[in-house]
A = this chain, B = another copy of it.
Amino acid sequence: MKIAIVGAGAVGAYHGIKLAQSGNDVHFLLRSDYEIVKERGFELHDCGEVSRVRVHAHKTPQEIGRCDLVVVALKTTANSQFTVLLPPLVGAGTQILTLQNGLGNVEALGALFGSENVLGGLCYVTINRTAPGVICNLGKTLLWIAEGEGAPRERTRVLAEIFRAAGFRTEVQSSLAETLWKKLCWNVPFNGLAIAGGNIDCAQLMASPELVKLSQILMEELQAGARACGIEIPDSHLAKQFDVTRRIGAYLPSSLLDFRAGKPVEVEAIWGEPLRRGTVRGVAMPHLETLYLLLKKLCACRV
Contacts and interface: CB of A to CB of B under 8 A. Distances in A.
A290 B198 contact: no
A293 B210 contact: yes
Contacts of A294: 193, 196-197, 210-211, 214, 294
Contacts of A281: none
Contacts of A193: 294
Interface stretch (A39-47, A101-109, A124-132, A295-303): A295-303
Interface in A24-83: none
Interface string A168-205: 00000000000000000000000001001110000000
Contacts of A297: 197-198, 208, 210-211
Nearest to A197: B297
B196 A293 contact: no
Given A198-B298, A298-B198, A211 B293 contact: yes
A196 B296 CA distance: 12
Contact of A286 (B286, B296, B298): B286
A289 interface: yes
A92 to B, nearest CB: 43
A287 interface: yes
Contacts of A293: 210-211, 213-214
A193 to B, nearest CB: 8
A290 B297 CA distance: 16
A294 B210 CA distance: 7
A214 B298 contact: no
A211 B295 CA distance: 10
A291 interface: yes
A289 B286 CA distance: 10
B208 A300 contact: yes
- CB-based closest 4 A-B pairs: A286-B286, A290-B290, A210-B293, A210-B297
Interface of A: 193, 196-198, 208, 210-211, 213-214, 217, 284, 286-287, 289-291, 293-294, 296-298, 300
Given A208-B300, A211-B293, A286-B290, 12 more contacts: A197-B297, A197-B298, A198-B297, A198-B298, A211-B294, A211-B297, A213-B293, A214-B293, A286-B286, A286-B287, A290-B291, A294-B294
